[in-house]
């Protein structure tokens, strides 16, 4: 029986400030807030049985004066230094961080690498699209450059494409080919998310219909043909009917949380039992860490998180429940 994996995580939405103004985004706010260290700890305390602390936020939020001022009041010279400290808090509480930070420089990646089991950046599409007109961080060449830098630094990495934001089928194929080339060159891409656009109230694309299920199925099939077999295809179980996509070659369901999906709050996560029913007895559901088993075996993790990785992983590199 083939294995389908997932991780148990807790969302840490550090801030909803973002320099990008994507036409479909419902997360970004013009009146942004910043979680304090105490609020981060409170979220982590509430997490039950999670191994992953998923740090998600807008790109370069300290361009906002109110965010920069709050960071200054908290004693941090820049936002990435603050993220690194929040990562350390998560590690101290027994969680392995995974950080989605938007575009980072090589030096910023190096700063966060010791305190993260993995990192991520959605490519979304490898072509320029109208929905990204007001989003300087969504230039494909900038995102590809960062994914390359993460590869050069041996960071276990998550990327993916967003389907239904104005791209063509050819664009999707090209984007998957670009991702595969990045993997072939650097070997660091552990998973590729194929995610369907969901319209959000109050956004420019609120009346744009989401892609048809057949389009997602076709994209997953193409991904399995184009991507190296070592790269797992991930699909979001709270947004899609997973069974046909698993039959098409997807093998991971991403992070499952007891809390809301802050990016798609209108779509609650299914429980593990609900997912098992959808597998129809044809797949075995297995929990993993935010760093995939093959990268644990390669020891692509830092001294700072080594004790935690060893404690939380079984001999195969999947999740176990031993305590340190």
| pLDDT, tens digit, 9 for 90 and up, residues 14-53 | 999 999 999 999 888 888 899 999 999 999 999 978 999 9
**pLDDT, average across residues 79-105:** 97
Residue 48: partners with Cβ closer than 8 Å, 6 or more residues away: 258
**Given this model, what pLDDT does residue 135 score?**
96
Which burial class, exposed, middle or buried, applies to 32 when counting CB atoms under 10 A from its CB (0-12, 13-18, 19+)?
A: middle
| Band of pLDDT at residue 10, cut at 50, 70 and 90 | very high
- Say if CB 313 and CB 296 are below 8 A apart: yes
Task: Name the E strands within the chain.
Answer: 2-13, 52-56, 96-100, 118-120, 157-163, 189-196, 232-234, 252-256, 283-288
- CB contact at 8 A, 118 and 291: yes
Using an 8 Å Cβ cutoff, are 2 and 283 in contact? Answer: yes
Do residues 305 and 115 lie in contact, with contact meaning Cβ atoms separated by under 8 Å? yes
State mean pLDDT over 255-259: 78
Residue 257: predicted pLDDT: 77
Q: Which pLDDT score is estimated for 275?
A: 93
Closest-CA residue to 10 (of 61, 49, 39): 49
**Per-residue model confidence (pLDDT) at position 324:** 42
- Mean pLDDT of the residues in the chain: 94
0.75 surpassed by pTM: yes
Among candidates 253, 174, 165, which has minimal Cα distance to 203? 165
Q: First CA to last CA across the chain, in angstroms?
A: 32
Closest CA to 240 of 263, 214, 202, 260: 214
Radius of gyration of the chain (CA): 18
pLDDT at residue 194 tops 90: yes
* pLDDT of amino acid 256: 86
Which CATH superfamily groups domain 2-312? Aldolase class I (3.20.20.70)
């Amino acid at each position: 029986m083939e294995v389908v994996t997932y991780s148990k995580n807790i969302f840490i939405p550090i801030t909803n400030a973002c320099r990008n103004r994507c036409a479909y985004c419902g997360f970004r706010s013009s009146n942004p807030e910043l979680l304090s260290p105490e609020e981060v700890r409170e979220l982590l305390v509430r997490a039950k049985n999670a191994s992953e602390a998923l740090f998600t936020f807008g790109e370069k939020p300290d361009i906002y004066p109110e965010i920069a001022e709050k960071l200054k009041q908290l004693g941090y010279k820049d936002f990435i230094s603050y993220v690194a400290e929040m990562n350390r808090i998560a590690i101290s509480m027994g969680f392995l961080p995974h950080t989605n930070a938007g575009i980072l420089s090589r030096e910023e990646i190096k700063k966060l690498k010791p305190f993260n089991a993995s990192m991520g950046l959605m490519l979304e599409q490898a072509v320029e699209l109208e929905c990204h007109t007001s989003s300087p961080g969504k230039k494909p060449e900038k995102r590809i450059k960062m994914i390359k830098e993460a590869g050069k630094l041996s960071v276990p990495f998550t990327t993916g494409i967003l389907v239904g934001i104005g791209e063509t089928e050819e664009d999707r194929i090209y984007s998957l080919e670009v991702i595969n080339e990045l993997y072939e060159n650097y070997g660091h891409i552990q998973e590729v998310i194929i995610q369907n656009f969901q319209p959000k109230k109050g956004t420019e694309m609120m009346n744009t219909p989401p892609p048809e299920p057949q389009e997602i199925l076709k994209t997953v099939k193409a991904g399995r043909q184009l991507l190296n077999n070592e790269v797992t295809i991930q699909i979001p179980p709270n947004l899609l009917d997973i069974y046909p996509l698993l039959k098409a070659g997807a093998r991971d369901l991403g992070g499952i949380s007891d809390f809301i999906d802050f990016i798609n709050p209108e779509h609650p996560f299914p429980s593990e039992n609900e997912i098992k029913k959808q597998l129809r007895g044809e797949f075995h559901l297995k929990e993993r860490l935010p760093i995939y088993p093959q990268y644990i075996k390669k020891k692509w993790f830092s001294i700072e998180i080594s004790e935690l990785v060893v404690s939380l992983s079984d001999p195969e590199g999947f999740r176990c429940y031993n305590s340190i």
